[in-house]
Structure 1
């Protein structure tokens, strides 16, 4: 067995909880996973710097074990027409009226930068970072190195993995097509980079020398053991943790995951980037439009509708990210899940 993920992070169980942004992967979940021996992760992709510091401090109060912070890399601004913007605003206001919300025509983007997020996490004592949508710039990588921080980045293809290794990251998250949430693709078109987890891990581990953690569709100990058999040094689970007691997922999101009978679908209608979630009427209604705005504009225009849908307990009017294996979700404690996954994997694989 490849122990490099355990050695890199100083953890006893090579299970990493995914950094699910927007609330599900908060401080309580990260602390519980880390305390159990895995690597908990704060999902801070949309968080302001002060909020990141607060989350880190909560984790530090609850555990002395290692944990990580996940951030989204910024991308070049994609232009869009005033006509597309107006069309989308009109459609979203129709939905707002239907839900009893006030109409909105103003796009409010955050004032903080990616660099602000990184330095806030570093100054608060974070030593482990994971990044989605590419690798940080050389200057940020140098700063992380100076502070003794580790870096993991997401690859959805062999080409991306090779590029990430050249960029100097310490480990790769190999995201298979089964994974819930945003596709981490940063080279090529996301819908053409849909290799399954097992094949992707096998391809990447045959070409790179740094450790690889498998992500996508892993829900139980058998999935953990299968990923290790493909050469992974660790695994990353997101969906399996969404129904944990410590998860920050909304009540309606948890309910739909536990019900487990709806299909999942890739959509870019909620954020402007393709992501996998439980199929809903809101998703289908927006997917019919040809004027989906780029990331992160679409995210900030739709976030109030999706949050209100969750608060109003309307599953059809919110976003509920989920991997293809979500029907195996169970109501659990995050620490127990972490330990039980590893015990089952060890029993199946016959190793430790």
Structure 2
């Protein structure tokens, strides 16, 4: 499809989409991308309904332009962790908590808010778009989004996932390749079996679905944008290059790590969250990989207890350094400069 089709779906001036960072989103960066004419996206992982409403209000105070809110759909593998397993891993990490001056955390009643509460809050907030990862939105969610005038964006790591999303009624599909930063959001097959590269995945998805396709993974400058459009994409979604900027919520140490990354720096690991994700290795990742890794979301909750404190203390060695394989191409400190560079690769 032509780029204009996606701009019409998103009500934006440009088909450039900010990757939603679960835990690393910021109002400043989301608003900056929207103000530049693209679609700013804000990740709501772990947010309850009240916090979603507050975040949407902050976004509307920061920009009058369209923005997207992003949710993780439950996949059915969020099984309750055995108390003994949690205690064993928690105790193994005691020295790390002590190093940060933290007590060992007590397990909460639940690790995540109900997705129904999150969806209700997003629908009430009426963003321009709701983007989802880890699955196909239910028919009632699709119907409610239509009623509220909210575009639906699904995320696929394979052709089969893209087809399932299109059949489920989404308005656009993000084809996210194995190069991308953060979590591998596969939902029809194990992520290890769904590591298709962006520039192999995009044209196959374009051929398989009749909705606009947004290319993601390994795109950081005008060359990646031009290549994505040459392969039939109607838009691009960019994460790491924007994460590198001062407007993001990444710590200074995280941004420095992106600056010093090279082509083979980013690795895949389950250590930080219990789900496969791409980031830069550091002391926390290496330590966690030496111990038992709990299933998601228990592992993500447990590491989150020290990652937050580490970020406040400026300890880049103990946070999640999410980054993609094109991190070395992320050279700008300001979101406006990143956007201008990407826009230079759009078709005339």
Q: Does TM, scored on the shorter chain, surpass 0.5? A: yes
1:128 counterpart = 2:132: no
Post-superposition offset of 1:330: 2.5
Mapping of 1:147-296 within 5 angstroms? 147-261=148-262, 263-289=265-291, 291-296=292-297
Classify the secondary structure of the residue corresponding to 2:13. coil
Structure 1 portions without partners, runs of 5+? none
How big is the alpha-carbon RMSD for the aligned residues of Structure 1 and Structure 2? 1.7
Post-superposition offset of 1:79: 4.9
Q: 1:85-124 deviations in whole A, cap 9, x for unaligned?
A: 2321112223212333212243453563112112212212
CA contact 1:74–1:114 (8 Å) conserved in 2: yes
Post-superposition offset of 1:250: 1.4
Using the alignment, how far apart are the partners of 1:111 and 1:25 within structure 2? 18
Match of 1:39 in 2: 39
Using the alignment, how far apart are the partners of 1:208 and 1:25 within structure 2? 30
TM-score (norm 2): 0.94
CA contact 1:31–1:40 (8 Å) conserved in 2: yes
Q: 1:253-293 deviations in whole A, cap 9, x for unaligned?
A: 1121122258211111111111111111211221233x321
CA contact 2:247–2:334 (8 Å) conserved in 1: yes
Post-superposition offset of 1:200: 0.4
Task: Provide the aligned length of Structure 1 versus Structure 2.
Answer: 345
Match of 2:28 in 1: 28
Post-superposition offset of 1:135: 1.4
CA contact 2:10–2:128 (8 Å) conserved in 1: no
Structure 2 portions without partners, runs of 5+? none
Post-superposition offset of 1:61: 1.8
Post-superposition offset of 1:152: 0.6
Match of 1:51 in 2: 51
Classify the secondary structure of the residue corresponding to 1:210. coil
Classify the secondary structure of the residue corresponding to 1:55. helix
CA contact 1:89–1:105 (8 Å) conserved in 2: no
Q: 1:185-212 deviations in whole A, cap 9, x for unaligned?
A: 0011111111100000011111111110
CA contact 2:251–2:316 (8 Å) conserved in 1: no
Q: 1:20-74 deviations in whole A, cap 9, x for unaligned?
A: 011x322211111011011001111222222222222222122221110011112
Using the alignment, how far apart are the partners of 2:315 and 2:334 within structure 1? 26
Classify the secondary structure of the residue corresponding to 1:222. helix
TM-score (norm 1): 0.93
Classify the secondary structure of the residue corresponding to 2:208. coil
> Residues 163 and 301 of structure 1: is their aligned pair in 2 closer, same or farther, counting only changes over 3 Å?
same
CA contact 1:183–1:274 (8 Å) conserved in 2: yes
Using the alignment, how far apart are the partners of 2:202 and 2:288 within structure 1? 33
Using the alignment, how far apart are the partners of 2:216 and 2:302 within structure 1? 29
> Residues 342 and 135 of structure 1: is their aligned pair in 2 closer, same or farther, counting only changes over 3 Å?
same
Using the alignment, how far apart are the partners of 1:72 and 1:132 within structure 2? 5
1:74 counterpart = 2:106: no
1:298 counterpart = 2:299: yes
